Structure 1
Amino acid sequence: MRAIAILCCLSALCPDSALRATEQRPNVIVFLADDLGYAESAWRSEFDFPTPAIESIRRNGVCLTSGYVTASYCSPSRAALMTGRYQSRFGYEKNPVGAANEDPDVGLPVSEKTLAQYFKDAGYKTALVGKWHLGGTARFHPQRRGFDEFFGFLHEGHYYVPPPFEGVSTMLRVKRLPDGSEGRVTIGSTTFSTHMGNAEPAYDANNPILRSSQPVEEAAYFTDAITREACGFIERSRDQPFFLYVAYNAVHSPLQGAESYMRKFRHIEDIQRRIFAAMLANMDDSMAEVLKVLQKNGLNDNTLIVFLSDNGGPTRELTSSNAPLRGEKGDLYEGGIRVPFLMQWNGRLPAGSQFDEPVCATDILPTTLAAAGIVAPAGRSDGVNLLPFLTDEESNPPHDELFWRQNQKAALRKGDWKLVNNSRKRNEPQWELFNLSNDTSETHDLARREPERLQMLIERWEEIAAEMPPQ
């Protein structure tokens, strides 16, 4: 009786602690890589060098081998991840770059509720560390979109170390080399290359690193700064449920590798590939530090972890491999939209398992909300709660079809069949048809052999497109 009385007193004095002890709402971390190709991590046998942190998530969780994003470039893809909805539903199909980020009309529409807002409204502490790219003006600021804390930048990219590029090897795109010729030349620790035919964008122009809304001077290599801030948030938030969105700008250009990592990969002769390897290894070590902080604070078993890329890798720009997939960033072939996609939740999701049915970044919102016991408005999401599918409670595929509309380009996956128009010409679609069950690389166009199926899928794509605002 005395023990019961003591417990009652403690519960009365510390009701929140007692609630946490009984409910144990899970934390959620979403790791988002930028421009990471399908084959560029240890979960694929084709990969050239190790990424042990990414591999640990695969080993302890579920590998989603047919994981898709809704666009093959950054901002629209992130809009769908944040809302659980095809970005075409709210007219957000373009990818703002440079000064367009500061257009007051450009950003994730404020009418759309974000994943962070759902978590915040349910009592979670929320933070974004890294890249936003969903609006660069005040009304689109992350802290007005559900994030309690923000450290990062608002535009599409940022230098990892600003000029004069101390402590890093840098590779920059240029139209002409310093002597006026074309090709590649290394001067000091900076390599200049004309292979892309254009110059490196002014990533940092009007795009400071911010803490909340205030510019800060950041001395650390930016991936390391993301590590520091993510770990700090976890330490401060360990006594309450949290949603942490760790949005790396790695491995997005500009190519800049810290010298300690450059030495690690000195055996790679191609300087472009060596810098890429250094950037990815740095990001993987960054993720490892975040995972260690979870473990140290006893949060590992009560944290749902998601890892994916925002789109396929740009091969010529970064040396990214999307093997065995066709295409790259910007395409609606598989290489542009099928990405590394992993989920880990110790004790809830089967460790070391593989799920081969198509899933989508829109599924992250309903899945993580369901894990947290948060009810989202019915019919609002294009995603599906994946938990019953990943635990074999549900045997049917999560999606009957997936839809893409990206300016002039279009695609539809229905079962194993994939309809693609990858043409840039608005009034001249060039429809192709592939069977992904035996042609993952999309090398055999079956449009002429299967005209009835082709027409059926075109009509279905047009039906879905008709639900969207006109372009």
Structure 2
Amino acid sequence: MSNCPNVVLFLSDDHAAWACGCYGNPDVHTPSLDYLADNGVQMLNAFTPTPVCSPARACLMTGRLASQHGVHDYIGTTDSFDVDYNWMQHETLLPQLFQQAGYETILIGKWHLGQERTAKQGFDQAFAIGPDYPIRHQGRRTWYRNDEPVIKDGLISSIITEEALDYLAHRTSEKPFLLVIGHYATHSPWSGHPRPLVEYYRKKHLEQPEPTTQYPFGMLVNEACDHTREDAVEALCQYYAGVTEIDTSVGAILQELRNQNLDESTLVVYTSDHGLNCGQHGLWGKGNATFPLNMVEQSIRIPLIFHAPNRLLSKQQRTEFVDHTDVFATILELAGIPDTEKKNRNSPGTSFCALLNNTHPRPAGRQHQFCEYGPVRMMRTHRHKLMLFPRTEENLFFDLAQDPLEQVNLYGNAEYQLIIDEMNQAIRAHFSTFSVESNDGVKASLPQYNPHVAWDYYKEYQL
């Protein structure tokens, strides 16, 4: 396989795997994503390493875990934060490696790793949403082109799409490009999306997913979750409208690549930072939708699709476990770019390029997944799932083959004790290998991180 000269990476916010037609949802309209999946490689077991925005994005951009790069929660943009602080200044990022290989690198949309009003590390050009909060899906707001404020009025997803199309249509460099597009439409508030799209979903008479299924074992619902969840069916219509907005953008970018005869020389990757609950388990939100923080399937599963005509073996659905640290390594290999910092990176991720091409002999692929969110850690296999909390009495263990909705906690069940012990040891070994002492989510002093309510909740657990 020849390398893919250009790369377009869609990194959407809060877009769960279950909210895509190609992942089995008959209600949501995603023809462009379905096209990518039908004509590319769809990863059916793709996960986020941390189910909240900033850490997940940092994992993809660094190939490292939160306990390595040190960002454990979402980075706020309110007055109590230095919104221009560069949280990645001690890391070598994916776009920096592309720059070193002679690429032009462009970011359009959400970044959420600091540098909100300044040029972005690793990017030659950036057009970013900026720190103004709350963020509404349409209206007048200040964007930042590198470090210059730009006032625009309109639908956020449309503005992001127009900027991306403008770059593709008017680029002057002869260099290959890495274009990162950070869509926001699937993030709360679940309101304010275009009326025709919302009305389309209202007419479907949707039902809230699993409305009677509550997440058990004393977990408290995060009442700070956006109030627009209170009308659950309307909120779901709005969320689906956001999904379709993003899908429309993907289609427009694909068409522009075809118009310029770039479609066969461009790798398109679609993914999101983490998943989301829209009523599942009685929750609205991601890993911080509950206290203690959760690792339910809807929070940790992400869409992940690779599309590169005549370069990848298409029409595949792969079941191997992968996450953002693997995506980091895979994109580099597909572009033919060496990871010059690989030895220092100590990444848990490995390239799965051979899976995308069905190379023989085919690699076995990983059959497990680790996740973390601050002091909470998880291991999942195809059948079992173990979550470890600061207090042992809160630990959870599920047999997903018998209990896919994660309702029956088997942590104290003697029948499963051997499996639980083995998975517990595996979690400890994994994070012993892939952590930095000062950034370790369990060992470090939590208040050194972003002072959000999740950490306030855990203060009583510090060792």
TM bracket (short chain): 0.7 to 0.9
SS in 2 for 1:65: strand
For each residue in 1:422-442, what CA deviation from the matched residue of structure 2 results, as whole angstroms up to 9, or x when unmatched?
A: x5xx33453333344665443
Q: How many angstroms apart in 1 are the aligned matches of 2:278 and 2:427?
A: 29
Partner of 1:190: none
Q: CA deviation at 1:340?
A: 1.5
Q: How many angstroms apart in 1 are the aligned matches of 2:430 and 2:374?
A: 15
Q: CA deviation at 1:279?
A: 2.1
Partner of 2:139: 162
Q: How many angstroms apart in 1 are the aligned matches of 2:283 and 2:303?
A: 13
For each residue in 1:202-259, what CA deviation from the matched residue of structure 2 results, as whole angstroms up to 9, or x when unmatched?
A: xx7xxx3111111111122110011111112222348431101111011101222123
For each residue in 1:250-283, what CA deviation from the matched residue of structure 2 results, as whole angstroms up to 9, or x when unmatched?
A: 1101222123434544525643333223222222
Q: How many angstroms apart in 1 are the aligned matches of 2:348 and 2:166?
A: 34
Q: CA deviation at 1:111?
A: 1.2
Following superposition, which runs of at least 4 residues in structure 1 exceed 6 angstroms of deviation?
Answer: 319-322, 325-329
In the alignment, which of 101, 110, 116 is matched to residue 89 of structure 2? 110
Q: Name the % identity.
A: 26
Q: Is the 8 A contact 2:44 2:319 kept in 1?
A: yes
Matched, 1:430 2:394: yes
Name the aligned partner's letter for residue 95 of structure 1: Y
Name the aligned partner's letter for residue 217 of structure 1: I
Q: How many angstroms apart in 2 are the aligned matches of 1:70 and 1:326?
A: 11
SS in 2 for 1:162: strand
Question: Structure 2 vs 1, CA of residues 335 and 100 (structure 1 numbering), >3 Å: closer, same or farther?
Answer: farther
Partner of 1:253: 188
Pair member with larger Rg? 1
Q: How many angstroms apart in 1 are the aligned matches of 2:47 and 2:82?
A: 29
SS in 1 for 2:243: helix
Q: How many angstroms apart in 1 are the aligned matches of 2:202 and 2:420?
A: 49
Name the aligned partner's letter for residue 126 of structure 2: F
Partner of 1:127: 106
Which structure 2 residues correspond to residues 11-410 of structure 1 after superposition, within 5 A? 25-99=4-78, 102-103=81-82, 107-136=86-115, 141=118, 143-155=119-131, 158-162=135-139, 208-237=142-171, 239-254=174-189, 255-268=191-204, 270-316=233-279, 331-376=294-339, 377-379=341-343, 380=345, 381-393=347-359, 394-399=361-366, 401-410=368-377
In the alignment, which of 420, 424, 439 is matched to residue 454 of structure 1? 420
Q: CA deviation at 1:401?
A: 4.1
Q: Is the 8 A contact 1:39 1:321 kept in 2?
A: no
SS in 2 for 1:210: strand
Partner of 2:226: none
Q: How many angstroms apart in 2 are the aligned matches of 1:235 and 1:459?
A: 53
Partner of 2:450: none
Name the aligned partner's letter for residue 397 of structure 1: A
Partner of 2:455: none
Normalised by the size of structure 2, how large is the TM-score?
A: 0.78
Q: CA deviation at 1:124?
A: 0.5
Q: How many angstroms apart in 1 are the aligned matches of 2:397 and 2:69?
A: 28
Question: Structure 2 vs 1, CA of residues 440 and 233 (structure 1 numbering), >3 Å: closer, same or farther?
Answer: farther
Q: Is the 8 A contact 2:139 2:153 kept in 1?
A: no
Partner of 2:210: none
Q: How many angstroms apart in 2 are the aligned matches of 1:31 and 1:59?
A: 17
SS in 2 for 1:351: coil
Q: How many residues align?
A: 397
Name the aligned partner's letter for residue 251 of structure 2: A
Name the aligned partner's letter for residue 162 of structure 1: G
Gaps of 5+ in 1: 1-22, 164-203
Name the aligned partner's letter for residue 149 of structure 2: P
Q: How many angstroms apart in 1 are the aligned matches of 2:378 and 2:79?
A: 26
Q: CA deviation at 1:342?
A: 1.1
Q: CA deviation at 1:327?
A: 11
Q: Is the 8 A contact 1:326 1:442 kept in 2?
A: no
SS in 2 for 1:36: coil
Question: Structure 2 vs 1, CA of residues 348 and 463 (structure 1 numbering), >3 Å: closer, same or farther?
Answer: same
Question: Structure 2 vs 1, CA of residues 124 and 130 (structure 1 numbering), >3 Å: closer, same or farther?
Answer: same
Question: Structure 2 vs 1, CA of residues 273 and 157 (structure 1 numbering), >3 Å: closer, same or farther?
Answer: same
Q: Is the 8 A contact 1:326 1:335 kept in 2?
A: no
Q: Is the 8 A contact 2:139 2:155 kept in 1?
A: no
Matched, 1:465 2:444: no
Q: How many angstroms apart in 2 are the aligned matches of 1:47 and 1:100?
A: 42
Question: Structure 2 vs 1, CA of residues 367 and 431 (structure 1 numbering), >3 Å: closer, same or farther?
Answer: same
Q: How many angstroms apart in 1 are the aligned matches of 2:247 and 2:268?
A: 14
- Which moves more between the two structures, 225-234 or 411-420? 411-420
- Which moves more between the two structures, 237-246 or 75-84? 237-246
Q: How many angstroms apart in 2 are the aligned matches of 1:466 and 1:106?
A: 29
Question: Structure 2 vs 1, CA of residues 327 and 114 (structure 1 numbering), >3 Å: closer, same or farther?
Answer: closer
Q: CA deviation at 1:413?
A: 2.7
Q: CA deviation at 1:99?
A: 2.0
Partner of 1:412: 379
Normalised by the size of structure 1, how large is the TM-score?
A: 0.76
SS in 2 for 1:384: coil
Question: Structure 2 vs 1, CA of residues 314 and 440 (structure 1 numbering), >3 Å: closer, same or farther?
Answer: closer
SS in 1 for 2:17: coil
Q: How many angstroms apart in 1 are the aligned matches of 2:161 and 2:134?
A: 17
Q: CA deviation at 1:328?
A: 7.0
Q: CA deviation at 1:331?
A: 2.3
For each residue in 1:370-422, what CA deviation from the matched residue of structure 2 results, as whole angstroms up to 9, or x when unmatched?
A: 1111110334232111110222225333335432221232101356432223x
SS in 2 for 1:209: strand
Question: Structure 2 vs 1, CA of residues 55 and 327 (structure 1 numbering), >3 Å: closer, same or farther?
Answer: farther
CA RMSD of aligned residues (A): 3.0
Q: Is the 8 A contact 2:48 2:371 kept in 1?
A: no
For each residue in 1:10-69, what CA deviation from the matched residue of structure 2 results, as whole angstroms up to 9, or x when unmatched?
A: xxxxxxxxxxxxx87521111122112222111133331321111111111111110001
